[in-house]
Amino acid sequence: MDAKYTCLIHDWKSDTRFCQYCINESKDKNKEDIINKPNHYHEGIQPIEVMESNFDLMETRGFLKGNVIKYVCRSNKKGKELEDLKKAQWNLNKLIEKVENEIHDRGK
């Protein structure tokens, strides 16, 4: 029996409307991003936003540095080493962004 559908993206012939690649991509898009935007971060004001609004630059930078240290030091203690290292990386990336913006603003 010939397949009824052809996926135009992956050139995959199937009896269902979506090929297996499209189905898996869809599942991946709906999966929780535990590092950048965990499900429990979707409600209300986020602490990082409060800090950015109320702390000066040095206080915010200190907080981010502390989080990098915390997540790296604890990474092998909770059974989620990669997750904690990625959280440290997120905080480090945010810190780098702050420093880059500060350098850019001084250059104006």
Within this chain, do residues 50 and 80 fall inside the same structural domain, yes or no?
A: yes
Within this chain, do residues 27 and 47 fall inside the same structural domain, yes or no?
A: no
| Contact indicator for 6, 12 with CB cutoff of 8 Å | yes
**What are the Cα distances from residue 32, in Å, to 28, 36, 58, 80?**
9, 9, 32, 16
Which DSSP category does 19 fall into? -
Within this chain, do residues 48 and 96 fall inside the same structural domain, yes or no?
A: yes
Within this chain, do residues 22 and 49 fall inside the same structural domain, yes or no?
A: no
Within this chain, do residues 73 and 99 fall inside the same structural domain, yes or no?
A: yes
Q: Count of domains in the chain?
A: 2
Q: Is the pTM of this model over 0.85?
A: no
pLDDT at 1 over 50: no
What residue numbers bound the domain in which 91 lies? 33-106
Instruction: Quote the percentage of the chain above a pLDDT of 90.
Output: 40
Within this chain, do residues 55 and 102 fall inside the same structural domain, yes or no?
A: yes
CA 56 to chain centre: 24
Residues 6-50 pLDDT 10s: 555 555 555 555 555 555 555 555 566 666 666 665 667 777 888
Residues 48-58 pLDDT 10s: 888 888 999 99
Within this chain, do residues 71 and 48 fall inside the same structural domain, yes or no?
A: yes
pLDDT at 86 over 70: yes
